[in-house]
Structure 1
Amino acid sequence: MSILSLIIKREFIAKVRNKSFIVMTFLSPLLFVGMALLVGYIASMSKDSVTQIAVHDESGLLISEFKSDKKTEYTNLSAMPFSIAKDTASKNYEGLIYIPKVVAIQDLKDKVEYISEDSPSMEFINRVEFIVDTKITQNNLEVLGFDPAKIEEAKGDSSLKLSKFSGEESLKGLNEIKVAIGGLAGYLIMMFIIIYGNFVMRSVIEEKTSRIIEIIISSVKPYQLMMGKIIGNSLAGILQFFIWAIVGALLFFIASTFLGGQIGASSSVSPEMMDAATGSVDKMAKIQMYLNEIWNLPLATMSIAFLIYFIGGYFLYSSMYAAIGAAVDSETDSQQFLLPILMPLMLGVYIGFFTVINDPHGTIATVFSMIPFTSPIVMLMRIPFGVPLWQLAVSVVLLFGTFIFVVWFAAKIYRIGILMYGKKPSWKELYKWMRYSN
């Protein structure tokens, strides 16, 4: 046990003293904040830009339907000959909507043309098609003797009210918020597994290629060396996440304090601002309700489960990463073995986002939250919806039981592969190593 402790300590100290580890530990939160501010700034810039579109309507049937808004400004060039309008639009506008002269408005369904050097977005195409379709529909209704205005007035505009059996009001989009929270936790685990699993693999490859491993292995059992690397790197990762949480909390506190001070410092408020504030009372109440719903989630269970699946998932996959590192001589040779490891992780993300959101307690979501190779992601996405305790217990037992089983096989590959040089192993070769007896 003392030898294992020494290996864990060595791996942990080597990792936390690495310059890249130190820089990324304290720089990553700032990079995330910077990226968020940059995205917000770019989004605000895109809101200010208005797309200039020219319209040449020879029929005179649709020009009145193209009304400018905050995103798009339409300019009528119908008074010009088409050739001149086309030339003008090519120089001064994003594109030209050409509406030819037709006998009946129904003929416009496949005659309207958009001319531009760049392909338009699907949103713009759908908007133009909607304008044309609406005008044709109104004309068809008039031909049939119906009043389009009265039909529009007769249309209903319902809003489904959500509530719980206890009588409390529920909120729309709450499932999406739950999936987003669980998805974030699962995504963090997946990234941790990939990043630190690669660290374990590289560490094994470096020691193997430098032949230091031949000295180490003379006094340490391969199993102890492999477990020491896995645990040492996991402790470094937990420390990094802990520092990120502290730095993130400090940045959030500073930002909220700064914004609060800015709001409190405003001594004069314009009538326009008062109107906007009054109009946003309902929105603030909704936000408060969403925050209350998030607070009512099983946060303690989610936190404990995150730590458990964090450790179990990392140990499970890192043992395979360590075995691959021992089997190959370079990182390039490891690529053929990494895809089978990454596939379950990607499958877990796919199942989580496309199945859990629609049916969190369905058969597919439940089964994949039990399978050890996908449970660290899928189960964390199910927990916000409420998961029976027995399912959590079974999932955790299967996860750690599979880890023990996998690490036993991985140790066999590690024991033989760590001293093998100059030969690229195949899957058949790895299978033979696993069959060797101790």
Structure 2
Amino acid sequence: MDKLKLIIKREYLAKVRNKSFIVMTVLSPLLIVGMIAVVVFLTRMNSDQKRVIAILDESPYFGNQFITGPELSFLDLVDLDLETAKDSVASMGYYGLLHIPDGKDITDITEKIRFYSKSSPSMTVTGMLESRIGKRIREEKLEALGVSQQKVQELASNFEMRTATFSGERSVKGVNELKAAIGGAFGYLIMMFIIIYGAFVMRSVIEEKTSRIIEVIISSVKPFQLMLGKIIGTSLAGITQFVIWIFSASLLGVVVFSLMGIQWNELNSRTNLPPETMDTINQAAASNEIVQIYMTELFKIPWFTLFISFIIYFVLGYLIYSSIYAAIGAAVDNETDTQQFMLPVIMPLMLAIYVGFFSVFDNPHGPIAVGFSLFPLTSPIVMLMRLPAGVGADGVPWWQLITSIFLLMLTFIGIVWFAAKIYRVGILMYGKKPTYKELYKWLKYN
């Protein structure tokens, strides 16, 4: 036990004192906050820059249809022919020219409407123009059929279905997706930690193996102790770096965005949504009842169970995958030879993310979600996506949560046992590129 503590301490101090570790610990929050600040700044610049569109309307139908808004500015051209209008718009540097010719009826006119610009227009601009023109066409055709403006407005009314639980308590749409996204954030954090710091364990083993230091170390400690010490020491160094990143990035973000005068609600980009959707969102935001329901649903999330489960799945998931990384590092002589073994390691993690987003979001208690939340190599991510829905009668059954953790612990013991056998043999093997057949032979050695 004392030797294991010494190995853990040695690995931890070696990592945190490494120059690259210190540089990345300092630079990463600066780069992350800087990237976000640049994206927000450019988005603000883009949204502040209005596109000016000239309108050459020769028809009697679209007079009041084009009103200047926050993104588009319209300029009416009068008493100009089309060629003169195009030359004027091009010379003035406007975004484009919308030409609406005259015709015998609105159907004939719409077939001749053209939009001229220097290059291909954006889909946002054309979508806004098509929406306004289409709305006027629909109104005109309904009026031609004898439908009054009042009836037109009634026909345009949107229907929103109200939902409720069997007990009569009102619910809102999107709550399940919101809860799954919260769990998905925890799962994604686990995946990134495994990929980054699992690779650190592998590189550490390769470096010591190629420098022959391992031959000296292995004479004093057992291979299993060395492997476990590397895994725990590296994970503690990684956790230290992650904690520093979170606190420093949060503090730096508050300072930078305050200096830039950026409000946090500006980070939600809703400028490209159509007006109808924006109205719905604004109405929902203005409704205290709906906001209260969302807050109530968030408070219903078993946060304590979620955090405890996150720690358990975080630790067990990392130990499983880092053991595999350590075994791979012991089996090869350089990092290039690890590529043939990396795909089977990464695949379960990527599969868990895709299954979580495509299955748990839609049906968190379906057979696919349940199956992958019990499968040990994917459960650290998929189960965390299911847990915000609750635990017990209305959420994840307790037996599934306990079974998932139990299977994860059994898998950890089994994988560590297999990884230790590969580690014990491979750590002293040099000059031979291993294959899966070779690894199988190592597992049979006593």
- Fold-level similarity (TM above 0.5): yes
Match of 1:97 in 2: 98
Structure 1 vs Structure 2 CA RMSD? 3.3
Determine the C-alpha separation between the residues in 1 that align with 2:214 and 2:109. Answer: 77
Q: Residues 24-173 of structure 1: matches in 2 within 5 Å? A: 24-25=24-25, 28-29=28-29, 32-59=32-59, 61-62=61-62, 64-77=64-77, 79-91=79-91, 92-108=93-109, 111-165=112-166, 168-173=169-174
Match of 1:362 in 2: 366
Match of 2:439 in 1: 430
Match of 1:419 in 2: 428
Match of 2:233 in 1: 232
Question: 1:191, CA displacement in angstroms?
Answer: 0.8
Say if 1:55 and 1:334 are closer, same or farther in 2 by CA, change over 3 A. farther
Higher deviation after alignment, 52-61 or 292-301: 52-61
SS of match in other structure, 1:437: coil
Q: Which of residues 396, 400, 403 in structure 2 aligns to 1:391?
A: 400
Determine the C-alpha separation between the residues in 2 that align with 1:367 and 1:166. Answer: 30
Determine the C-alpha separation between the residues in 1 that align with 2:206 and 2:419. Answer: 15
SS of match in other structure, 1:360: coil
Say if 1:240 and 1:130 are closer, same or farther in 2 by CA, change over 3 A. same
Question: 1:31, CA displacement in angstroms?
Answer: 5.2
Q: Share of identical aligned residues, percent? A: 55
* Structure 2 residue ranges without an equivalent (≥5): 260-282, 391-395
Question: Are positions 1:306 and 2:315 aligned together?
Answer: no
Higher deviation after alignment, 309-318 or 289-298: 289-298
Question: Are positions 1:338 and 2:342 aligned together?
Answer: yes
Match of 1:403 in 2: 412
* Counterpart amino acid of residue 213 in structure 2: I
Match of 2:275 in 1: none
Say if 1:97 and 1:403 are closer, same or farther in 2 by CA, change over 3 A. farther
Say if 1:221 and 1:112 are closer, same or farther in 2 by CA, change over 3 A. farther
Question: 1:217, CA displacement in angstroms?
Answer: 2.5
* Structure 1 residue ranges without an equivalent (≥5): 259-278
Match of 1:14 in 2: 14
Give per-residue Cα distances to partners, 1:141-192, cap 9 Å, x unaligned: 2343333542223544444444445555444433333122112111111110
SS of match in other structure, 2:221: coil
Aligned residues: 417
Match of 2:382 in 1: 378
Give per-residue Cα distances to partners, 1:359-389, cap 9 Å, x unaligned: 1111111111111121111111111001221
Higher deviation after alignment, 11-20 or 40-49: 40-49
Give per-residue Cα distances to partners, 1:389-410, cap 9 Å, x unaligned: 1111111111222222222222
Give per-residue Cα distances to partners, 1:250-285, cap 9 Å, x unaligned: 779999x99xxxxxxxxxxxxxxxxxxxx9995678
